[in-house]
């Protein structure tokens, strides 16, 4: 599960990748549709604020 990945301690990248793949395989056995909880207008407004903040930063 995602808890296993988030809370897990992995001693190598290979171990992490294996855990992720097992989690994906388990999820794909009984997939559920993703349900958006935010309104599209809220998401677009957040994108606009983010762009405005990035445009205020001096370029490197």
Q: Which backbone phi and psi does 41 adopt, to 5 degrees? A: -65, -35
- The pLDDT assigned to 1 comes to 65
- The pLDDT assigned to 54 comes to 92
CA distance 45 to 60: 26
Q: Distance of CA 36 to CAs 9, 30, 42, 46, 58, Å?
A: 30, 19, 12, 15, 34
Q: Which backbone phi and psi does 8 adopt, to 5 degrees? A: -75, 160
**What pLDDT digit, counting tens, does each position of 2-57 carry?**
788 888 999 999 999 999 999 999 999 999 998 989 999 999 999 999 999 999 88
């Amino acid at each position: 599960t995602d808890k296993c990945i988030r809370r897990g301690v992995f001693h190598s990248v290979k171990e992490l990748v294996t855990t992720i793949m097992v989690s994906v395989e388990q999820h794909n056995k009984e997939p559920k549709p993703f349900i958006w909880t935010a309104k599209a207008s809220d998401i677009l407004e957040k994108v606009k604020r983010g762009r405005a903040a990035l445009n205020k930063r001096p370029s490197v």
